[in-house]
Structure 1
Amino acid sequence: MTPPSLLLVGGAGPAPLGIDVAVMAIEQARARGLAVHLIGHAEDLAATRDAVDLADTAEAVDFEDSEAAVTWALDRGRRGEGFDAVFTCRELALPATARIAEALDLPGNSPEVIDLIRSKADCRHRLAEAGFPQPASHHCTSAAQARRVLDESHGPWVVKPRVGSGSEGVSLVSSPTGLPGALGHLPPESAQDFLVESYVSGTEYSVEGLFRGGEPQVLAITAKEKLPPPFFVEQAHTLPAPLPPPLRRQVEETVTEALRVLGLRHGLFHVELWVTDDGIVLGEVHARLGGDYIHRLLAHAVEGLEMFGEVYDDSLGRDTPAGPRGCTRAGATRYFSPPPGRLREVHGWHEAAHHPAVLAAELAVAPGERVAATDESDGRAGALAVGAADPGQARALAIELADGVRFDVEPEETP
């Protein structure tokens, strides 16, 4: 009997985090008897052998070209090599994944909904229309237009790409004099396609979950810690967030209702928000898993959870766990942000990375390499993710282990 076939669009990103996510996703597919077919960029396939070698087949396909990816998938079907489910772990592959699912009549989110939520301005507008508090958001195509927004509103403001992830190009503008620097921080492709939003003062969280039968199920709420402005790079996570039960329920209800309004119905979700003095303000909505080793924290904190496997089971009409599930344990992640310069040596890494409570350990720089300034998520020097009995213990242990790692950096000369 031919096993059900899963198409994994985008494969693994070349960074250690992306590989770890893809490996977990493929392992959970194989454990369910699925044949896994992976497509991705040729250079990524060559750099992600740990994931590629677990798949049954891997082929170079430009998944960022949705039309080409759909054509490839349809051609496979005509040859009798079709798929029973389609999934992605990557933000950039969401449009192609949705269009392949639609073309092959497989479960998935509609392309229109994916396009809506990936356009941050459009998603804000849709949520605001439905009555959800949102930061004031202005789509700008020039520096002059952005300056007019600042002149006609009260700061601080946030300048960010209209489409993107990983805090790339996001920065705080405290006064109009800071606008040129923020615009210069945008990636080149966003120089004429960006947002200026009002800054929200509050405690930031994200909500992680999956869909079952089209309905959202919250798995956990994550507390976030960020490096000081002007950038918005996440430094730490604690899961589950230590919230009083009434506030936790309010956050969960707000997010699940927002997902219904937007029309998301399949896969995983990661929704960012702020808890302010005036209530809950929704941030960005993603039809994917959160980054920063949240997949490892969830797998430790929610007993028996196989989030990718449950998405596959839902796609194939198989039984999935009934009823809500909470966290019986906790996890925390801490990222390293040493000063920029030339790295001489790292002290204490082996001891920290091999602590028995460590769920994942990543060191992104080696002696002799240049440590970059931490102005976006990809610039961080590494991370430790740990598991513990409760959130307080998890956060304290992550801090303790991270503080035991010291980066000997030769400072850069200042012009």
Structure 2
Amino acid sequence: MTDPTDPCLLFVGGAGNATLAVDVVETAMRQARARGLRIHVTNQEATLAATPTVGALADAVSVVDFERPGESAAWAREQAAAGAKFDIVFGVREMAQEAVAEVADALGRPGNPPHAVHRVRTKDEARAALAAAGFLQPAFRVCEDPAAAVEFLAGSTGPWVVKPRDAMGSEGVTRIDSRAELDDALAFLPGEGAFIVEEFIEGPEYSAEGVFIDGVPHVLAITSKELLPPPNFFETEYVIPALLPEAARLDIEKQVVAAFAELELRYGQFHAELWLTERGVVLGEFHVRNAGGWIHRMLAHVIPGLEWFGLVFDDVLGRPIDKEALKPVRGSAIRFPTPPPGRLVAIEGWEEVLAHPALLHAELAVAPGDIIEPHRSVENRVALIAVGADTPAEAQKLVRALDASVRFITEPVTHPPTAP
């Protein structure tokens, strides 16, 4: 039982209704509990009902819609006026980050400036700010309609990427090599409204995972990524720490730290995407939240004793943090199997994966009879295998072998003939 005088964590946005989202939030809540924090969770009503284990870990739960501008901050002010005291304001969901910043600002608690969070969540605004500061960025254009996209293509050299202004998980992102492919890419965009067309960056993709300590970004590790071939951006593998020359790692860290300062971000966790190219480090999207894809579990293996969420709480509470201990000493890798699309008939070899002693986590999201869709975004992931090892190279070799040992047997889906 917590004491009502204990410091309180306001967890804005709670968890999304997915296994990964719930695991992230429950991990964060357990690390908060270990620090003697009370926990008050806010979330949308339907999602609270769908994530009962999160509510069970909290001291209090309130229905607040973080997607309605200003609602979370107004609710927090009312609570404070009624005598509630929130010492830490935090959240892990991408779509809740503006609400997290607005609540922290309203309560005078540590957080990121709301305008800075809005800027990085609006991809073109972040691109423009970084380019103006001299960081390498893809050339891009915000397009209100297809005609603007056609004009951008005519005045630049492909290939290009068509993407939403505000989304996550590679949702609606397509590479195109010609004007003829534009219409299909536009049809793949989620929703309506403005979108972005930008130059495709040639080079391996990475991300930097970290935490702000005393307002300064501290990179915990670099993640390497493997993707399926275009046109979409389905990520099939992560390795932590990335197998990189030391000079490249240091250059990435330098660029990321400088970019976060330029973007006026200073609080919480972070995940920054980038490419290594012949021109140097080209920065991609920046996020003030933990990385997805079970990277929170991988980092905990790579840096023994790491409590990524707990570092944020320790920072706010003024507790000492030994930054020298926050360095990778082991390796981890994850694979997202990509079976052929069709109706799933059988799965062979999965039980052997579950029994492997190096397994950190595995998940199977399909069963015989399900339809496996083409692999176009994180929404189409059907399974995952994450392992830990002494080195990243060993982890990569092992996870690839386990992935290859699983056989997904599918058959073509036959559609009934269309009525005349």
* Shorter-chain TM band: over 0.9
Q: How does 1:227-238 map to 2 (within 5 A)?
A: 227-238=228-239
Name the aligned partner's letter for residue 171 of structure 1.
T
Separation in 1, partners of 2:361, 2:68: 33
1:284 aligns with 2:296: no
1:263 aligns with 2:264: yes
Q: Which ranges of structure 1 fall in alignment gaps of 5 or more residues?
A: none
Residue 349 of structure 2 corresponds to 348
Separation in 2, partners of 1:347, 1:129: 53
Separation in 2, partners of 1:242, 1:154: 31
User: Following superposition, which runs of at least 4 residues in structure 1 exceed 4 angstroms of deviation?
Assistant: none
Residue 26 of structure 1 corresponds to 29
Residue 178 of structure 2 corresponds to 175
Return closer, same or farther for 1:53/1:350 CA change in 2, 3 Å cut-off: farther
State the aligned residue count.
413
Separation in 2, partners of 1:305, 1:266: 18
Residue 140 of structure 1 corresponds to 143
Q: Report if aligned partners of 2:306, 2:326 keep a CA contact under 8 Å in 1.
A: no
Name the aligned partner's letter for residue 296 of structure 1.
R
Residue 326 of structure 2 corresponds to 325
RMSD of aligned Cα (Å):
1.4
CA deviation vs aligned residue, 1:105-143 (integer Å, no higher than 9, x gap): 000001000001111101011000110010001000101
Separation in 2, partners of 1:55, 1:321: 29
Q: Which ranges of structure 2 fall in alignment gaps of 5 or more residues?
A: none
Return closer, same or farther for 1:153/1:182 CA change in 2, 3 Å cut-off: same
Return closer, same or farther for 1:75/1:258 CA change in 2, 3 Å cut-off: same
Tell me whether 106-115 or 332-341 shows the greater mean CA deviation: 332-341
Name the aligned partner's letter for residue 103 of structure 2.
I
Residue 164 of structure 1 corresponds to 167
Q: TM-score, normalised by structure 1?
A: 0.97
Residue 40 of structure 1 corresponds to 43
Q: How does 1:186-265 map to 2 (within 5 A)?
A: 186-188=189-191, 191-265=192-266
Tell me whether 136-145 or 10-19 shows the greater mean CA deviation: 10-19
Q: TM-score, normalised by structure 2?
A: 0.96
CA deviation vs aligned residue, 1:152-179 (integer Å, no higher than 9, x gap): 1111000000111100000001111000
Q: Percent identity?
A: 47
Separation in 1, partners of 2:298, 2:262: 28
Q: Report if aligned partners of 1:141, 1:192 keep a CA contact under 8 Å in 2.
A: yes
Q: C-alpha displacement at 1:367, in angstroms?
A: 2.3
2:102 to 99, 102, 113: 99
Name the aligned partner's letter for residue 117 of structure 1.
V
Q: Report if aligned partners of 2:13, 2:41 keep a CA contact under 8 Å in 1.
A: yes
Name the aligned partner's letter for residue 333 of structure 1.
I
Name the aligned partner's letter for residue 251 of structure 1.
I
Return closer, same or farther for 1:181/1:357 CA change in 2, 3 Å cut-off: same
